[in-house]
Chains A and B, each alone.
Chain A
Amino acid sequence: NAGVTQTPKFQVLKTGQSMTLQCAQDMNHNSMYWYRQDPGMGLRLIYYSASEGTTDKGEVPNGYNVSRLNKREFSLRLESAAPSQTSVYFCASRGQVSSYEQYFGPGTRLTVT
């Protein structure tokens, strides 16, 4: 069991470039999340997917799009990167309704210059 995997681990973009962050889980979890972590700001929810085929905005969705490709995969896309999107991005997943623990991936460190 690899748990939650994220690619890439590190990425440097120039302002205006686009990229997709990939996330996959092998725990057969229904729900998946994308967070960003900035110094002194904690974890802020960008988008989430309660189940395959559904996505919803979180606290800070502007500038991002997501795709729940299938039950395993949930990707985050930056269409036109901005320096304000420099952050560490975490993907997480959660199992059945009765289980509330979120399992986090190792993160992607993104720098936008």
Chain B
Amino acid sequence: GENVEQHPSTLSVQEGDSAVIKCTYSDSASNYFPWYKQELGKGPQLIIDIRSNVGEKKDQRIAVTLNKTAKHFSLHITETQPEDSAVYFCAAGPIGLGYSTLTFGKGTMLLVSP
């Protein structure tokens, strides 16, 4: 099955700095890579996703890059703000005509200090 590794487990930055979280996956069949943000006491919420036919996707201050050859993808947050403090999860899975499930990384706790 799929195995997703996520690093680092914790990341502390100053407000205004950039933050990068990296994930690797093992299954070549995976072609969908979402990122979820989980605030304290809440369920995870999708913030951005990318499919394997795209190398990069951006949405305001967040961007995701994908390297299919190396089987790794990254989340980039620019101009971090205290409200970006949360746990971030990457995930990977195959999508297509049939049904599929996602495998999640173990999460990164991002702390943004004012």
Contact = CB atoms under 8 A, between A and B. Distances in A.
Interface in A23-63: 31, 33, 35, 40-45, 48, 50, 58-59
Given A31-B99, A48-B101, A50-B99, A107 B34 contact: no
Contacts of B61: none
Contacts, number: 50
Contacts of A102: 34, 46, 102
| Dominant secondary structure at the B interface | loop
> Main SS of the interface on chain A?
strand
Interface residues of A, number: 24
Contacts of B44: 43, 90, 104
Interface string B95-114: 10101011111110000000
Contacts of B107: 42
Contacts of A100: 32, 34, 49, 95
A42 B43 contact: no
A64 to B, nearest CB: 16
Given A31-B99, A45-B101, A50-B99, A104 B106 contact: no
Interface of B: 1, 6, 9, 32, 34, 36, 41-46, 49, 89, 95, 97, 99, 101-107
8 contacts: A40-B106, A42-B104, A90-B44, A97-B97, A101-B34, A101-B49, A106-B43, A107-B43
